């Protein structure tokens, strides 16, 4: 008698904007060039990007156009940090990777950016914010990497979240009451938290 052993890889979902891709940094660079003033990530204090852009005196119609443009010309968007590609390579060799995103980028633009940057994945799920968070809660994915505080809803469903540190979530601290929330300052720390 022969036995067939099927081994499925565990699943992980990874956000795109400001988690894998430094899209906000690229967007602020374009605004800096257009406005003739220096804007960087430290200027952003809240995940409510529209109100942050208004606070910075940026025209929302123009910010939307710039965001769309950087994804159309996505070679201007680097990976989040110097460890992103290497760590994602290790993650994709162990996990089935779903890019779970609410990005403005088209699926083709996401694929092109991932291919250019050697980011390997199995699936792309693109949903608007609230639907993204609902999908995360209801899916059979049990590990998430994201920059949004709203993704902590997965913790209530018994799922793990690694929160990538960004200015808009800098006040969050890991605590012993929520063992399912871990915080990483960069992708090297993501690898450490995943134990490789």
- pLDDT, tens digit (0-9, with 9 covering 90-100), for 56-112: 999 888 898 999 999 999 999 999 999 999 999 999 999 999 999 999 999 999 999
What digits encode the pLDDT tens for the residues 48-66?
Answer: 888 999 999 998 888 989 9
Q: Report the range of poorest mean pLDDT among 9-13, 134-138, 175-179.
A: 175-179
Q: Which long-range contacts (CB under 8 A, 24 or more apart) does 111-116 make?
A: 112/74, 113/21, 113/71, 113/74, 113/77, 116/74, 116/75
Average pLDDT for the chain: 92
Angle at 107 between CA 101 and CA 111, to 5 degrees: 100
Q: Which of 165, 167, 79 is nearest to 117 (CA)?
A: 79
Distances (CA, A) of 187 to 32, 38, 145, 150: 26, 26, 10, 20
């Amino acid at each position: 008698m022969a036995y067939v052993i099927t081994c499925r890889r565990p699943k992980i979902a990874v956000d795109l904007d400001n988690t894998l891709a430094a899209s906000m940094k690229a967007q602020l660079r374009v605004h800096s060039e257009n406005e003739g003033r220096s804007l960087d990530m430290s200027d952003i204090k809240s995940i409510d990007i529209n109100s942050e852009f208004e606070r910075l005196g940026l025209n929302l119609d123009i910010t939307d156009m710039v965001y769309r443009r950087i994804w159309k010309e996505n070679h201007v968007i680097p990976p989040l940090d110097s460890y992103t590609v290497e760590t994602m390579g290790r993650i994709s060799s162990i996990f089935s990777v779903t890019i779970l995103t609410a990005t403005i980028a088209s699926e083709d633009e996401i694929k092109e950016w991932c291919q250019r940057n050697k980011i390997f994945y199995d699936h792309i799920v693109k949903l608007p914010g609230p639907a993204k968070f609902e999908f995360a809660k209801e899916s059979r994915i049990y590990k998430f990497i994201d920059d949004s505080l709203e993704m902590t809803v997965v913790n209530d469903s018994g799922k793990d979240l690694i929160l990538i540190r960004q200015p808009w979530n800098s006040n969050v601290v890991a605590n012993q009451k929520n063992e399912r929330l871990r915080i990483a300052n960069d992708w090297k720390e993501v690898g450490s938290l995943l134990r490789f």
